[in-house]
Structures are given as C-alpha cells and as structure tokens.
Amino acid sequence: MTTIPPEQIIETMQQHPLLDESTEYGYGTAGFRFKVEHMDGIMLRVGIASAILQYELFQNTKTNTNTNQQPQQDMGVMITASHNDESYNGVKLSNPDGSMIPPHLEETLVAIVNQRDLDLFQNTHLKGFDFRSTAKFHVGYDTRSHSERLTSLFIKGAQAMGVTVINHGVLTTPMLHHIVLHSNAKAYLPASIPPCPSRAGYCQAMGSAYLELCNVVAPCAITGDRSTPLLVDCACGVGYKAVQEVLSEITIRGNLTTCKPFLVPCNEPGEGPLNTNCGSEHVQKQLKPPTWYSKTGQDAAKSYCCSVDGDADRIVFFAASSSNELGSLLDGDKIAVLIGKFFQAELSKAYGGNPKLPKVSMGVVQTAYANGASTQYLEKNLKVPVVITKTGVKHLHHAALEFDIGIYFEANGHGTVVFSQAYHEFASQAKSICPALEILPRLINPAVGDAVSDLLLVDALLQHFEWTVQDWATKLYTDLPSRQLKVQVKDRSVVQCNDNETKCLQPTTLQPALDQLMSDIPGSRTFCRASGTENVVRVYAEAPTREQADKMATIAAGLVHTHCGGVGPKSAILFFKK
Ligand code: G16
C-alpha cells in the first residue's frame, strides 16, 4: 500500500530519471553497479521495487508448504560497489536467508528499474498496490562519499511504497547479510545457533566462536603474545572498523588485555583512496603488496598479512618479500583447500571415535579462475569432489548447497562454507569427540563470503597446524603461474561464454584464436569473459612458467582487443605493472 499518492511517486521518479535513456541497466555479477552518476535513478527505483519484491516473495512462500518458512520475511539491501574504486557505486540485495536474491527476483527488479514509460509504470506497479508487509528491509552502506545519499534515495522509494526500513548505517556487506539471516532465524538458523540480528550481535558471535575454536584446536593462539601479528590491509574501507570491533570483542572476552593484539588493522577510511593500490583486488590481480597508508602498517613486519576489499566480503593472505614484491599469495583457492583439509581431518577423527555417526558429504565449488593446481590437489590428494560454476558468489553458493559441507571460494578470496541440516545434526552428535565441528558453523558466515569471519577461521587453522604463511604456501600444492588482465571494449556484451565460462562462444572468431594460443604452450589455459561489475572484458592465463603466463595473458588480451572491439590503441590495454 503506497503511503503517498502514486502520482507523487511518479513525480519523484521524474526528479531522479535514469541517466541513460537507452541503456538496459542489468543486475550484474553482484547487483546494479555503475559509475556513480548512474546510480541516483536506479536507487530510487530499487527502493520502490523493494515493496514489489516483498510481495513476490510473500506469494512464493505462502504457497510453499514443504518448509517452515514464514510467509513474511525480512530482506536486505547493501549500498556498495565493493572492490571497485570510489567512482563507482552499486546495490546488492539479500534474500531472507542472507544469500543473494534468486534469478526470478533479479528479473523482476531489472524489469521495474528499466521501465521508462512512467504511465505504464503507474498502472502496472502502483495503482491498486495494496500489499503491506509486516517484514522489514534492512539497509546498510559502505564508506563511499555518495553511499549515504544513495541510501536515502532507496529509503525514500521504499517508504513511499509502505516498506518498513531499518537503517543500520555504515557496515560491512557480510554484517548486513548476517543481520538479515538472523532476523529470519526461525526459518533458516539451526537451533544450535542463537539468533543475534545486530552489528553488536555479529561481533559477539564472531569473537566468542573464534575463542571457542582456538580453545579446542589452537590454545596457543590465545595464551600470550604472538611473535607475528596479522597485519590487515582494510582497503581504506568499512572493514577497518569491523576488524577493530571484533578484535576488541576477542580481547575482552578472552581476557587478553595484557597481550599484544594479534590483529593490526591498517588502511582505514580516509588514510588513502578506497581500493586503490590496496585491498584484496589490487593484491590478487596485480600480484603486488598493498600500499600501507597507515604508519603502523609501514613499520610492521610483512610476513603475515591479509587484504580485504572495500565492503569486506573478500580476503586474500600474503607475505611480502619487499615493499614492491609479494613473497607468497594465498588466495581463495588456498583458503578453500586449507578449510577442506581441516574438515577432512576432523571428520576422520569423529568417525574414528564413533563409526556409527551418520555420513555427511563434503564438496568444493570453484570457478574457471581457480588455479589448476588447486583443483587437482582437491580431487587427487584430498579426494573431494569439485564443481566449477560461473563467476559470482550467487552461482557458487547455490552449487555448494548440494553438499552437507559445501565449501565455496572464488580465487579472488570471495567465499564461505554452507552447512545442511543433516550436518548440524551430525555435528551435535559428534560434539563430544570433535567439538570444533559444532563450533565452526558459528564462526563461519553461511550467508555470504565474509572477510572477517574468513580471517578468524584461517588464523585459527594456521595456529592449529602451526603453519606460517610460507608453510601454507608450500605444504599443500604449488600454484601454476597465472596472470589476469582487463581489456576495455566498446560493448562488453558482445562477449558470450559457455556455462562455466571456460570457452568464448561469441564473437565466434575469438575461441579458435585462443585455442591456437593454448596449443602453442602445452599445459596452459586461457579464457576471457565480460565482467559483471566493471566495464571491461577480463582475461585469464595460466601456464607452466611465469614468463609464459604473462606472455599468454598479453597475447590473449590483444586477441580480445582485436575480436571484441577494443577501445583505443592496443597499447592502451591495461597491462600489468612490472
Ligand atoms: C563481485 C562478486 C564476485 C565476483 C566479483 C568480480 O565481487 O560478488 O562473485 O567474483 O564481483 O566479478 P566480475 O568478474 O564479473 O567483475 P564484489 O566483491 O566486487 O562484490
């Protein structure tokens, strides 16, 4: 039920038109994400659409008799452009279970946002709209200078349609998804996880689960000063405060006030430009350490470091050998393998102690960007099934739900673990033998990739294995050298790929050229795909040597430029910085 007359809503839409009259604004890899000047009109329309999404969800769940879902459930919206620089902004929506919204809601949203005929809009969506949900929309935003203004446009649209909005202010994307999931606890959380639908609740849950896990698998982590604290590059974004808050929770709860902090958050908002020469995207794509804008970061040792992205839903770990050189990079693949190895050991301990425990399945989900060596290690050494999906956590998450323990990570450090109900029952039975199995779902954010949760988990596991970053880099498998580049083209939609994005289907001339390139270098692999978050085509190459990988990526990028309408001279391709 609209709270103001439909004509007034249309008037507001006219005051905030879509910037580009002819563009179809798509819901990309992770929401609507564009240069900020495009976002005002989009945000207002997403706000208006939020009521219609609630209605659609209500229609779906009310007829679903199979589950204990309630017909009216809270949803969420996060205003952020995540890993992109400050010139972008965007919006990602959360489903009631904290995951990304499903394809049918994306379609509804895209149709509403792109409806240019406002008479038709009024007749189709506003006139006679008499649904008022008891459920709420949780809203959060990142530290970008324009995020608060865009949030108020969302709220304006949502409230005009009668939606109850709870504005949580500046927070990380995973915190927002956690809040949404915990607000719908009855339908989606197992009884072993107490609901805590707030920012403070998130920090308490993370802090206490980390301490509990360390207590049982790595007591050394919390019993004194660490020789090497973990230096956290927060990309000058929202992760800084989140890491500080969780650290303070752990310090107080664990009586660690007399110890040196084991986490050193650096690169806080304002110390440097967001995601620029810092953050996980920079470290993973450029294969370079970040700029340490904070004085504390400049002075500290660089042998145990991590970088998160601008909304703290991704993380990579590294050791730097100099201010300009990475010693080792531990990306999402390495994180997935570390977690898989730990689960496997705990499972075999549990079954060793009680062979009658019910069986649970475990699998890992990756994308075409996964380093070939990691996939091989998972399948051959750990003997874990691997599924490859399209890029985008929404695809990985969905595939991971097929397993009782579904570990999913993109190479860029975006990932988490999801657990089935059968797993929760198993873990409670196995608790006396392996308490960690019951604690892990409280430390791991099952809603979405979460840099803070992943940071704590990885730290506890490294302490458990008594591994340095160097050990982690060398004791599992050795990455095949790889290189990623991006190419600016006139229209990135000309690039169409197969289902798992390993082959380019359009333009038809490109794949044969890439195939030729691969046959010239045995053991190599290259592919390209249109980004869903930036106006570029991404190119990936992997080969037996660093020189071959770099050369291959450069040639493949040149081919993309030629076959896909590259913009400007070929020399303008964004080559990696030597
Ligand atoms: C988003 C998605 C990720 C994806 C990344 C890059 O991350 O959530 O799943 O890997 O974009 O996508 P693309 O290659 O299509 O540009 P984030 O952290 O930016 O939200």
> Which residues on adjacent β-strands are paired with residue 140?
78
Task: Name the residue of 77, 144, 501, 533 whose CB sits within 8 Å of the most ligand 1 atoms, as the mutation to test its pocket.
Answer: 533
For residues 58-87, average pLDDT? 83
**Bridge-based pairing state of the strands 386-389 and 405-409:** unpaired
Quick one: average pLDDT of 150-169? 97
Contact present, 151 and 50 (Cβ < 8 Å): no
Instruction: State the average pLDDT over residues 104-109.
Output: 96
Q: For 339-362, how does the pLDDT look when each residue is reduced to its tens digit (9 = 90+)? A: 999 999 999 999 999 999 999 999
Q: Ligand 1 pocket: which of 89, 390, 414, 492 to mutate (most atoms <8 Å of CB)?
A: 414
Number of neighbouring beta carbons within 10 Å of residue 328:
19
Asked if 206 and 198 touch (Cβ cutoff 8 Å), the reply is: no
Q: Where are the beta strands (DSSP E) in 117-216?
A: 136-141, 164-170
Please tell me the predicted confidence (pLDDT) of residue 573: 64
313 CA closest ligand 1 atom index:
18
How large is the average pLDDT for residues 103-121? 96
Strand-pairing partners, residue 31, are 28
The answer to whether the CB of 397 falls within 8 A of the CB of 463 is no
- Please check the confidence at residue 65 and state whether its pLDDT lies above 90: no
What is the arithmetic mean of pLDDT over 79-86?
Answer: 97
Q: How much is the average pLDDT of 162-170?
A: 97
CA angle 109, 113, 114 (to 5 degrees): 115
- From the CA of 306, how far away is ligand 1's center (Å)? 18
24, 49, 490, 530, 534 from 84: Cα distances, Å: 21, 25, 20, 16, 8
- All domains of the chain in start order, with CATH: 6-170 (3.40.120.10), 199-327 (3.40.120), 332-474 (3.40.120.10), 482-576 (3.30.310.50)
Predicted confidence (pLDDT) at residue 450 exceeds the cutoff of 90: yes
Residue nearest to atom 5 of ligand 1 (CA): 392
Q: Ligand 1 centre and the CA of 367: distance in Å?
A: 12
Ligand 1: distance of its center to the CA of 28 in Å? 9
User: What is the predicted pLDDT for the residue at 28?
Assistant: 92
Q: Which atom of ligand 1 is nearest to the CA of 392?
A: 9
Catalytic residues: 82
Q: In which band, very low, low, confident or very high, does the pLDDT at 578 lie, cut at 50, 70 and 90?
A: very low
Mapped onto helix, strand or coil, the DSSP state of residue 537 is: strand
Do 76 and 180 form a contact (C-beta atoms < 8 A)?
yes
At residue 577 the predicted structure's pLDDT band, cuts being 50, 70 and 90, is: very low
Protein residues with CB under 6 Å of any ligand 1 atom: 29-30, 82-83, 309, 313-314, 391-393, 410, 412, 414, 531-534, 538
Atom of ligand 1 nearest to the CA of 100: 8
Sequence-ordered strand ranges (E) for 129-223: 136-141, 164-170
Q: Closest residue (by CA) to atom 10 of ligand 1?
A: 392
pLDDT, tens digit, 9 for 90 and up, residues 487-539:
999 999 999 999 999 999 999 999 999 999 999 999 999 999 999 988 899 99
Pairing between β-strand 482-487 and β-strand 537-542 as defined by DSSP bridges: antiparallel
For the cut 70, the answer to whether the pLDDT of residue 574 exceeds it is no
Tell me the DSSP string of 288-346: -PPP--SHHHHHS--SSEEEE-TTS--EEEEEEEETTEEEEEE-HHHHHHHHHHHHHHH
| C-alpha of residue 538 to centroid of ligand 1, in Å | 12
For the chain, percent of residues with pLDDT exceeding 90:
90
Q: Cα separation of 144 and 150, whole Å?
A: 10
With beta carbons less than 8 A apart as the criterion, state whether 368 and 413 touch.
no
Assigned token pair, 518: 């691969």
Identify the pLDDT of residue 366: 98
pLDDT per residue as tens digits for the range 238-295: 999 999 999 999 999 999 999 999 999 999 999 999 999 999 999 999 999 999 999 9
- Which residue carries 């691969």 as its tokens? 518
Query: Residues with Cβ < 8 Å from 166, sequence gap 6 or more?
Result: 136, 137, 138, 139
The pair of three-digit structure tokens given for residue 97, joined into one six-digit string: 């279970």
pTM, to two decimals: 0.95
69 pLDDT band (50/70/90 cuts)? low
pLDDT number for residue 133: 86
Long-range residue pairs from 122-131, CB within 8 A, at least 24 positions apart, any chain: 122/6, 122/7, 122/9, 122/10, 125/48, 125/52, 126/2, 126/6, 126/9, 126/10, 127/6, 129/1, 129/2, 129/51, 129/52, 129/55, 129/161, 130/1, 131/1, 131/51, 131/54, 131/55, 131/58
Mutate to test the pocket of ligand 1, among 388, 391, 394, 398 (most ligand atoms within 8 A of CB): 391
Close Cβ partners of 321 (under 8 Å, ≥ 6 residues apart)? 327
- What average pLDDT does the segment 535-552 reach? 95
Q: Average pLDDT, stretch 128-152?
A: 94
Pairwise CA distance, residues 126 & 117, whole Å: 13
Contact 253, 211 (CB under 8 A): yes
